Structure 1
């Protein structure tokens, strides 16, 4: 699909070109697809760590070093180390997320990801060689910080680099690597779990190395985000980066128009604080509305009880006594991956708002169905277990179909440009905090020695899910196909949520007009070599 130049009648019926040529096809935008897959490497590492490390505490090879042996010969681990191993990873991710803004402002997106990759490599090496609890705890914290950086900076880079019509698809594709990484980690764990040596957990750790190593070695060759370069006083590099990203899909007129939009926003934001005090801008004026939406939608994952399902699904499958719980975990995870891939077809047509609402609603319904299954005393244990497996699979389908990719998308595309990394870091940081609270408190509700609610805990998450769904419905605007600069203008002009799709951005139209004038000037100086671009510009000049 090609978006041709828009012609506008002038005096005497003459025509002046006012819009560049954009080829919207996937083939023409292959560079964006390639960068999306490349960014997926960082999220594969995040997902792999999640899937692999979680299984270490069930491996005799790991427990021989960090656990103890029961009188009957089985292996176990004390609750203290168990909590620290899990919580330090989340604590590190929270720290990494909250530092995304200031670190990214200083280092940029590319160098921040290089630093994060190095942190992950060091953490993996420590985990592989240490037999000390202190070093193990430190490595988990370090790994969490690195993964927090990788998650956020890869998302921010895509936000600032992808063309408007492809942002939703790019996020659907890139976040699928989290689920793919988690599944691969689980499969490797399943194959090595029976080894009665340290290699049981070291082999999965060795498999963690390639992703951060590839990133660290190749990121120096990647163009920095054009918007970051522009906001840091490097316009020539920013334009060169934008031309590289749009080559083959946009003509020079379209590139100049997008660049003019970016310049207008950069000039407006140049007067704001450029140091750590910038974080206070998140809570001032029209930015407060954006922050509330981004944080609110960002915590939707936790709000529909995702950590309850993800962290304790295997436990419930085990208590259901319907087969291998690890196998059912892998199968339900694959169902979730199918839901994620299905969104690639719908996000460009339906938009992220409707997908998020559908995802929230589906997860909320699954919670009450799961609770009801275990409240019905007339249902056999076996049938309840089968129902639990089906409900969990449907939940993960809905979660990946509408929530997992697009809460990150929203948290990155709604903020002001100079606050994007700060806002996304805050949103994911708060989400991590709620996820940690869920993981920490859930055992009190489901443990047989405590309240012993089991799956009936879903009643609480049903109510929470209703609140999340209502928040998204009333607060989240639809911005499908809009540039980041158009979104910024609509928020500054306090456009109502329901009016976003039909709003006409005047400032952006003016920026595009300026780009036409700039391109004419460049063409006269012979700086534009593309014949079809020169033809557009010369035609415009002859008819003005």
Structure 2
């Protein structure tokens, strides 16, 4: 480790602070990457729901139970059930997201995920067995509750255990499960759409069972978040958990330095304060700025019209008279997966701010293309081809920068004691806008109502431009920064453009204390291992 100079009081000089060894390669950090893949599984059902349930609205087996038969013998769905099926899930997600703060004050991250997975299992069973609208609507609300809690705690858990240089990549990997779930839902729907009767939509629902069951059985055996443990006055367990997550990548000095950074924040804040008034801290002092940025960035997901494309994609292609809509929605979503994979390589170099901005620009361009195609006097065949291409680019851009990195940003900017509250509020407000989209979209695109069809994209083009401007002017660049560094910069009111170059003094002091702790540990170990014996004088 090398020599460390100290002053007359035994303190490490700031200019001589030693840095512990941190291996930044993926191979050295295999443990945290594997853990990310595991926790990311909890997001599968949220993505699968967008792919599978959205397709049910164009599936004869489902419509025979919850739809009506047209004079020509085909099946359709009325606007009210269409609106309720999607919007009730969003309302449930809103309630689940807003409950994140209070739940996190009482339950650890792992047990919160287990509770949410239980709610998801119950909702799946109800959707499989029911033929009643009332039970179906209740199941959709319960499904939303589970997904709202899962999304928030999965992201919070990952934010609190991943090292700063891998946080963006880990979020991209975890969000793979959302995109994978959406794609698999569409693929399974395409395979079962021709199955007679209720099995056509029950089979896709059966696919949802294994992952929640596996998580419920295995989560109790994993370490808890070190930051959650620290904020609940359990420092020994926190240090042990941090050593587990950094094993093989950090030496003891680096672990102690990171632990001291966490302790410095925990000394000021206490998430374990179970006071509902804590939520008002979101709108006071420097926390107000964090809240505005976090809510605005997360709302960019809804602001670019994601729910319009994701929740009504198959139905949207159907009313636009695109041939084989189930197959084309799968193909376009696969191009979205390409965007997600590409983001894994770009985020380490560009940072999530630039990727989010790029995603907003691509989504804006796609929306104006879709709207223009169906406003101009084109043949249905040419417009259909253009719609497929524009939708493909939209999903590429959305997965490249928005699907995962907006949630990352809204969870890494808040104060530690308000992280669950802020992320819950951000996702909750985003779900409100998503609900407005799913609730009102049928009126615009359904042939029985306004029948705008793809021209509805004009609205989302304007909304996408607003989201792009917000990201450009208000979102700071925190690439490679620890959660504690971000906290210090917000408390010191650092301007948005200065985040990238700001030097965090408090963090340097914490790292110096970490060096002293490691040295003290090495000294104690040396004394323990030193052989001892008795001096025996010879007797003449």
Classify the TM-score, shorter chain. over 0.9
The answer for the alignment partner of 2:362 in structure 1 is 362
SS at match of 1:208: coil
The answer for the alignment partner of 1:397 in structure 2 is 396
Shift in Å at residue 100 of structure 1? 0.8
The answer for the alignment partner of 2:495 in structure 1 is 496
Shift in Å at residue 375 of structure 1? 2.5
Q: Deviations over 1:98-139 (max 9, x none)?
A: 101111121011000000111111111222223333322222
1:13-412 matches, within 5 Å, as 18-70=18-70, 73-270=73-270, 273-377=273-377, 379-412=378-411
RMSD: 2.3
SS at match of 1:502: coil
Shift in Å at residue 273 of structure 1? 4.8
The answer for the alignment partner of 1:539 in structure 2 is none
Shift in Å at residue 491 of structure 1? 0.1
Shift in Å at residue 448 of structure 1? 4.3
CA gap 1:395/1:529 in 2 versus in 1, 3 angstroms: farther
Shift in Å at residue 77 of structure 1? 4.1
Provide TM-score, normalisation by structure 2: 0.92
The answer for the alignment partner of 2:505 in structure 1 is 506
CA distance in 2, matches of 1:139, 1:361: 36
Q: Which runs of 5+ in 2 are unaligned?
A: 8-12, 530-540
SS at match of 2:57: helix
Shift in Å at residue 376 of structure 1? 2.3
Shift in Å at residue 449 of structure 1? 4.9
Q: Which runs of 5+ in 1 are unaligned?
A: 531-544
Shift in Å at residue 326 of structure 1? 1.0
CA distance in 2, matches of 1:529, 1:191: 67
Shift in Å at residue 311 of structure 1? 2.6
CA distance in 2, matches of 1:75, 1:322: 17
CA distance in 1, matches of 2:4, 2:475: 34
Q: Deviations over 1:70-116 (max 9, x none)?
A: 56544444443333222211111111111011111210110000001
Shift in Å at residue 168 of structure 1? 0.5
The answer for the alignment partner of 2:532 in structure 1 is none
Q: Is the 8 A contact 1:98 1:426 kept in 2?
A: yes
CA gap 1:179/1:7 in 2 versus in 1, 3 angstroms: farther
Shift in Å at residue 442 of structure 1? 2.3
Q: Deviations over 1:280-312 (max 9, x none)?
A: 110000000000000000000111112222233
CA distance in 1, matches of 2:381, 2:68: 33
Q: Deviations over 1:313-359 (max 9, x none)?
A: 32342244342111110111011110011010010111111111111
Q: Is the 8 A contact 2:83 2:440 kept in 1?
A: no
SS at match of 1:250: coil
SS at match of 1:268: coil
CA distance in 2, matches of 1:253, 1:29: 17
CA distance in 2, matches of 1:440, 1:240: 47
Query: Which segment drifts farther, 195-204 or 40-49?
Result: 195-204
Q: Is the 8 A contact 1:272 1:278 kept in 2?
A: no
* Count of paired positions: 523
The answer for the alignment partner of 2:537 in structure 1 is none
SS at match of 1:173: helix
Provide TM-score, normalisation by structure 1: 0.91
Query: Which segment drifts farther, 478-487 or 74-83?
Result: 74-83
Q: Is the 8 A contact 1:7 1:19 kept in 2?
A: no
Shift in Å at residue 31 of structure 1? 1.0
CA gap 1:362/1:283 in 2 versus in 1, 3 angstroms: same
Q: Deviations over 1:141-184 (max 9, x none)?
A: 11110111111111110000100000000111111211110111
The answer for the alignment partner of 2:427 in structure 1 is 428
Q: Is the 8 A contact 1:370 1:455 kept in 2?
A: yes
Q: Is the 8 A contact 2:232 2:270 kept in 1?
A: no
Q: Is the 8 A contact 1:6 1:19 kept in 2?
A: no
The answer for the alignment partner of 1:524 in structure 2 is 523
Shift in Å at residue 68 of structure 1? 4.3
Q: Deviations over 1:454-500 (max 9, x none)?
A: 32332222222221111111100000000000000000000000000
CA distance in 1, matches of 2:35, 2:479: 21
Q: Is the 8 A contact 1:7 1:17 kept in 2?
A: no
Q: Is the 8 A contact 2:290 2:414 kept in 1?
A: yes
Shift in Å at residue 439 of structure 1? 1.7
CA distance in 2, matches of 1:124, 1:44: 14
Q: Deviations over 1:401-439 (max 9, x none)?
A: 111111001011000011111111111111111011112
Query: Which segment drifts farther, 344-353 or 191-200?
Result: 191-200
SS at match of 1:480: coil
CA distance in 1, matches of 2:272, 2:310: 41
CA gap 1:272/1:312 in 2 versus in 1, 3 angstroms: closer
The answer for the alignment partner of 2:535 in structure 1 is none
SS at match of 2:32: helix
